[in-house]
A and B are shown apart, each in its own frame.
Chain A
């Protein structure tokens, strides 16, 4: 289509031919499917490997023979001791040190002051305002339950990340081992982490904290490694020449000099923790997530929007504050002691004021449910009216999509012979990146076939395929609309951020209300989530085009449409592909969560594995999802990279 206007990327002829041969072979298998022996349509039973049993045996061995249970229990006790302290301070759980709860007015003042110190008045307003909102909306206890876990999980993650990042930095071998593990870990669906945690730790806040720690460590490892690598060699040499020992060099030179990267790592840990801590409600983590889960089960949209807003606000505040901290450079202080410590003094003053207010009137200590504001009723009413109004449309849409699009597509995906899919993937891999990519594709796809979950995986693939296709159809025009000028793109990107930080399972509520329990609802929920990266990357791809190119095209007399079709879109394609890639990742995560609507895919099995705490099955399913994501990631990024190089060199 649009690629026709560009010279084809340089490809070796034989690479093209081999790829074509593979694709033709796949086509032959598809055409002659009715005549194929069953063993080629689906792998024969004998070839299906009992991965789950192996994993379960390994886990059982580790737990019973190696005594891993004692270790994990000891670790979880340690985490629990920390959790007890924060839980007592933040929401007055009756544990040592028995001093809490701290009145909300004090915490809001502290947050505001921290915001001011890090990023000035606007951040102060945002941070303080967020906590005031939480308090007056009557969500204080839930939010503090959530925060009490984050406050504990983040430092643990940061310390583990620093240690493992340092290890990977010191030893090539450790890095080589860690790298693929991190790749897989970052594409495993959230639920895959939860099952082993339930087995080893149990349920409740400590399990929530531990799953959050595990989930948020990978970016910290990456950023630590990046930071340590990036320290200027002269700084290290100057440290050595100052006579540092190895340990001193690490703690006083390398790590402080890598401060910015490490703090960006901390930022990512915080954001990951927040995302996980909401989902961890599935394994008994109390707080905002659990409330949201209950509301989801009761399909109450109004209250869940209130909680969603709280989570988004918290995410924005934590994100802005930790980013401001990362960017902030030290400044020298001058003036008398009082002036230099003015922020500290103002903070102390505000804290004192908060305590006094709380003592004068209990409203400033805790807002009771009866006193709390709520906008749930009007929201519920509005949504009800809306659904009533558009239900003829949605009913038709549901019927149309199911009968004419979804069911035929799903059946087609299931109809495809496994062998043909494998061959086609190898062919595409070969076309994109030669033998190596072909092997990578097979290495990801073959285990899925061997695991025996092929049919379920194909349903997941079909859901993701439809969702991403719809997301492209919706997202690219939206992106074009958003990229018109600077101000509008900023607004669009802000909306994207909000949609992305909104806890994913809030989206399940309106889609169930609109479409009921079926694939349309699932796909609608996934599309909402999957459109966000498409819009974002379309805007970024278009705004990233060098102005000289646009100007030269305008001077050649191109009309705005021609400019878009022949110049802007082709140049934006590599960026757009990166967006599509992220869209696939988001879809995969969301499809798994959409099991709560009711699906027939890997997600439903994952939910079942979570209920029966079947670690082996859960991990096999998790790996299947991760491998699908990594496969798409490999192909798309490889292609986008080649394309980008070709564009730059031409």
Chain B
């Protein structure tokens, strides 16, 4: 009995002292990776940073929408790239259910929308206005879309609502979804050869801006609720009658048990902050230089020690 009391007391002291003394749990921190390169490299950068601090890290490849549910349940520990346009909705839904928290916001500003490489402008000089784009829809026609123009969207799991946008704005386009980001780049590269006009889904920060100069299409400006409330936006009875947010956030999310289980790692995570240029650089190491994500992360860390070292202290 005495022994037990002693143990309990010990445990209580430990618990009280926790904020100061606590060591990170030896369980691995689980970092989810998705299907675009910057996120994989960034995950590896932060993962290797944690490993440098003595933590063990595991990577799991997960779906980029389902991941918020996984974080809520503690199956995954954190998410380094919460894009407002793509995942804001899933993230907010998870926040409401609880179990996940908004840890930090990157300096980087994100934008994801319809995008075209510069040579397209020659065929359709009115760009970047969306109505001008719609007027030269036939220039974007492909065999499979017939008369209509083709818009090459991202993988369906990015849930971009492009088809809804086409419908709401009455555009003369058909949305074709690529199965992966790489398929997008393959199509742009193919179009570059004979300067075929092409309009695809793209985002910033991304390596693509460096390789193929281009611009986003200007849709009616985003306003909050445009995706849920028909009254918002120019068309009174349609949702999605607007572009995506032009300066969206890029956040870091984490399981709300992380700060207790891995307090040191959590403290470091709060300081993690990347810029557009850094993120594009990471993507480029993989997408252009063809490195493995692990190696790309190691290389980036070597070159940018001044950036991440302070976060660990």
Instruction: Give me the interface of A with B, judged by CB distance under 8 Å.
Output: 93-94, 198, 202-205, 281-286, 290, 293-294, 296-300, 369, 398-399, 402-403, 406-407, 508, 512-513, 516-519, 594-598, 604, 607-608, 610-613
B270, CB-defined interface residue at 8 Å: no
B62, CB-defined interface residue at 8 Å: yes
CB within 8 Å of A: which of B271-312?
286-287, 290, 292-295
B65–A204 touching, CB < 8 Å = no
Query: Which one of A283, A294, A298, A299 contacts B62 once the chains associate, using CB atoms below 8 Å?
Result: A283
B186–A294 touching, CB < 8 Å = no
Query: With A290-B61, A294-B293 in contact, is A598–B176 under 8 Å at CB?
Result: yes
CB within 8 Å of A: which of B136-183?
142-144, 146, 152, 155-157, 159, 176-183
Query: Which one of B28, B67, B142, B179 contacts A508 once the chains associate, using CB atoms below 8 Å?
Result: B179
Q: Which residue of A lies closest to B290 (CB)?
A: A300
Give A465 to B220 CA distance when docked, in angstroms: 43
Give A175 to B130 CA distance when docked, in angstroms: 61
B32: which A residues are within 8 A, CB to CB? Answer: 203, 284
Query: With A296-B180, A297-B180, A519-B144 in contact, is A612–B60 under 8 Å at CB?
Result: no
CB within 8 Å of A: which of B14-41?
26, 28, 30, 32, 35-37, 40
A512–B183 touching, CB < 8 Å = yes
Q: Which residue of A lies closest to B75 (CB)?
A: A202
11 inter-chain pairs at a CB distance below 8 angstroms, sorted by A residue, are A94-B26, A203-B67, A284-B61, A407-B143, A407-B144, A513-B186, A518-B142, A596-B155, A596-B180, A608-B157, A612-B65
Give A293 to B157 CA distance when docked, in angstroms: 15
B157–A607 touching, CB < 8 Å = yes
A613–B60 touching, CB < 8 Å = no
Give A369 to B142 CA distance when docked, in angstroms: 43
Q: Which residue of A lies closest to B179 (CB)?
A: A596
A165 → chain B closest CB, angstroms: 33
Query: With A517-B179, A596-B179, A598-B177 in contact, is A399–B143 under 8 Å at CB?
Result: yes
B66, CB-defined interface residue at 8 Å: yes
Query: Which one of B35, B63, B67, B69 contacts A610 once the chains associate, using CB atoms below 8 Å?
Result: B63
B56, CB-defined interface residue at 8 Å: yes
Contact size range, B: 35 or more
Give A283 to B62 CA distance when docked, in angstroms: 6
Give A480 to B265 CA distance when docked, in angstroms: 64
Give A598 to B144 CA distance when docked, in angstroms: 12
Give A163 to B295 CA distance when docked, in angstroms: 47
Query: Which one of B65, B178, B286 contacts A517 once the chains associate, using CB atoms below 8 Å?
Result: B178
B127: which A residues are within 8 A, CB to CB? Answer: none
The proximity string for B residues 184-217 relative to A, scoring 1 for CB distances below 8 Å and 0 otherwise, is: 0111001000000000000000000000000000
A204–B63 touching, CB < 8 Å = no
A286: which B residues are within 8 A, CB to CB? Answer: 58-61
B70, CB-defined interface residue at 8 Å: yes
Give A608 to B292 CA distance when docked, in angstroms: 28
A518–B183 touching, CB < 8 Å = no
Query: Which one of A402, A407, A608 contacts B156 once the chains associate, using CB atoms below 8 Å?
Result: A608
A303 → chain B closest CB, angstroms: 9
A202–B286 touching, CB < 8 Å = no
Query: Which one of A93, A281, A403, A611 contacts B143 once the chains associate, using CB atoms below 8 Å?
Result: A403
B156–A604 touching, CB < 8 Å = yes
The proximity string for B residues 67-88 relative to A, scoring 1 for CB distances below 8 Å and 0 otherwise, is: 1011001011000000000000
B35 → chain A closest CB, angstroms: 5
B183–A299 touching, CB < 8 Å = yes
B141 → chain A closest CB, angstroms: 12
B63–A93 touching, CB < 8 Å = no
Identify which of B32, B70, B186 gathers the most chain A CB atoms within 10 Å of its CB.
B70
B286: which A residues are within 8 A, CB to CB? Answer: 298
B75–A297 touching, CB < 8 Å = no
A612: which B residues are within 8 A, CB to CB? Answer: 65-66, 159
Q: Which residue of B lies closest to A522 (CB)?
A: B179
A613: which B residues are within 8 A, CB to CB? Answer: 66, 69
